[in-house]
Each structure stands twice: as C-alpha cells, then as structure tokens.
Homo-oligomer: A and B are copies of this chain.
C-alpha cells in the first residue's frame, strides 16, 4: 500500500552548504540572507543571492518546519473533492493570505477514511485542522486536541471532543424558505431532507416542524428525513404529491435531495413550488430557476481559519461556535403560486 516514491537516483539538490561554498561565505551568513537578517552587508547579500540563483537553490521547508516547530500547513478534511466545494475554496484563500498551505483530503463520507485522513494530518504536524465531520463521535481526536492541535469543525459540530465550530444558521434558513412559500400562498408545504442522524438533517427537520407548528399548517406526512437516495426521494415525493390534498410546495434539505427531486419531477418541475437548502452552480439556469437558501461559504471558510489562528495563538481560550447567517435567493421556483384550486 505504501510504496513511497523516490526509487530513482534524482540529482541531488543544492543545500545551504553548497550555496555557502559557491558564494565563499559562511553557512551562517547564507542562513541570515535567506531569513532577511538585516545585519549582513549589501555586498555579501548580493553575492549570496547570486549563488542562490546560480545553483537554483530553494530552502528545504521540511527542515525549516522541523527546526521551527511549525509546518505552515493546515489540513482540510472535506467530504468530497469531486463536487463543487466553495468552503474549501474559501479556506484555501484565507490560508494563502496568511502564508499557509492547505493539505486537502477527501473523506468520501466514510468515517474510517476521515479518521485515517485526520491522523495522517496529525502525523504531518499540520498547524491546524479544518474538518467537515462525518461521524458523530470524534473521541480519537481528543488526544490531539489536548496535545494542542487546533481543530475547527465546519458545517457540523464534532461530537465527543471540545472543538470550535462554524455552522450555518439552519433554523433561520428553513424559516426563510418556509416564509417565502407561505407568502406566496402555500399552506401545504412538505420537507424532504437528510437523515436525522446527521446534524444538519436533524436541525433542519426540527426547524421545519417548528415552522409548521407556528403557522398551524398540516404536519402529518409532510416531513421525510432519511438517507438521500434516488429511490427514497422519489418515494417521498410521490407520497406527498398523492392523495386528496397533496403538497403544493417543497423544501429540500440539501443539494443532493434537491437534485434527486428535480430528477424525479422532470418536466413537472414547474408545477411544484420548490426551495432548496444550499445553493449550487447552475441553479440559475434551470427552468424554473431554483430558489435557494444559500450558505455564506466564503464567510464560513474565513471564519474557520480565523478560529484556527486564534486557537493556535491561545490554546486556552474557550471553545467557540460561530453561526453564519444564510440568505434566501429568490429565482423563481420558490415564488410559483399554488395551483388555483
């Protein structure tokens, strides 16, 4: 499994020692020049720089990291690398702005893989970890956290370990979606979303139930949480659309559900009002264009890095959970009127 690279006899890279020899100065002086130590004369600086470019010398960051104790890298364990991942992108940007690189690994929604990825990051002594947690229990991380590894969860909190978290305001988002549909005349509103064993699935379903209760709408048969598969979404949709008083509007709890719902509805998509939780590229070119509750990915990523840096600076600071506001983007599908009965 681990047949590391490096079998070949690649040409040896120049080291500081080589540069020192080339420039005719002491090793110490090269180090000073590389680290912009001001106590070295302009004459020598230029000679050293010349030697550096002549030899194509680039300092070995592994050695620097070992020596300095910091790796200048943060790990990002995200669920998926293949699909669009705006949060990862924001994390990347925020990290770069601080001179940090991002070691991104995909967990593919697999707990074992998540653990493996995170542990690998720890062995690399990353300066912090951003995690989009999969499982409920992350006890295996508590040792690392206790050892001072800054850890911040995004999208969902980490269970079993005290860690900072940055979450979207799920309840407010569902509220916005529900209100939008109500305002446009809908009374019978259904919800299909993630399994309630998943944090966001739980929060969003609960918020939906609260909305229905507050507005006095019908609840029975209207809430369908569960694993997101084509068949389950189709069954749920068929159920809420059948009977004497079918739902006239739908809220979907995540992108995957939204897509499956659209796939099932096909050409009938224009006859059911729909608001999806979470935006995605191309939502605006569907017909009707999709009304969504958009998470502020840029803000989430930025905040995650902020929290990471803050914790690295002060490991003793209290654990913090930041809730990032969401936004309703009306594009048409959520503004469809109920069929005039």
Contact = CB atoms under 8 A, between A and B. Distances in A.
Given A10-B315, A84-B82, A102-B104, A5 B128 contact: yes
A184 interface: no
Interface stretch (A58-66, A153-161, A216-224, A236-244): A58-66
A74 B147 CA distance: 27
B5 A309 contact: yes
A150 B11 CA distance: 12
Given A4-B100, A8-B148, A105-B102, A125 B61 contact: yes
Interface string A24-68: 000000000000000000000000000000001011111101101
Nearest to A55: B143
A125 B64 CA distance: 12
A96 B72 CA distance: 22
Given A106-B89, A315-B10, A62 B58 contact: no
Interface residues of A, number: 84
A21 interface: no
A267 interface: yes
A124 interface: yes
Interface in A123-178: 123-125, 127-128, 143-144, 146-150
A144 B57 CA distance: 10
Nearest to A91: B81
A314 interface: yes
Contacts of A284: 263
A312 interface: yes
Given A99-B2, A147-B13, A267 B282 contact: no
23 contacts: A2-B98, A3-B99, A5-B100, A6-B69, A6-B127, A7-B313, A8-B311, A8-B315, A10-B148, A13-B125, A56-B147, A62-B62, A62-B65, A62-B66, A62-B124, A66-B66, A73-B103, A81-B85, A102-B104, A102-B105, A103-B104, A282-B282, A287-B287
Interface of A: 1-11, 13, 56, 58-63, 65-66, 68-74, 80-86, 88-89, 92, 96-106, 119-120, 122-125, 127-128, 143-144, 146-150, 259, 262-263, 266-267, 280-282, 284-287, 308-309, 311-316
Counting from the closest, the 4 A-B pairs by CB-CB distance are A10-B148, A2-B99, A82-B89, A6-B70
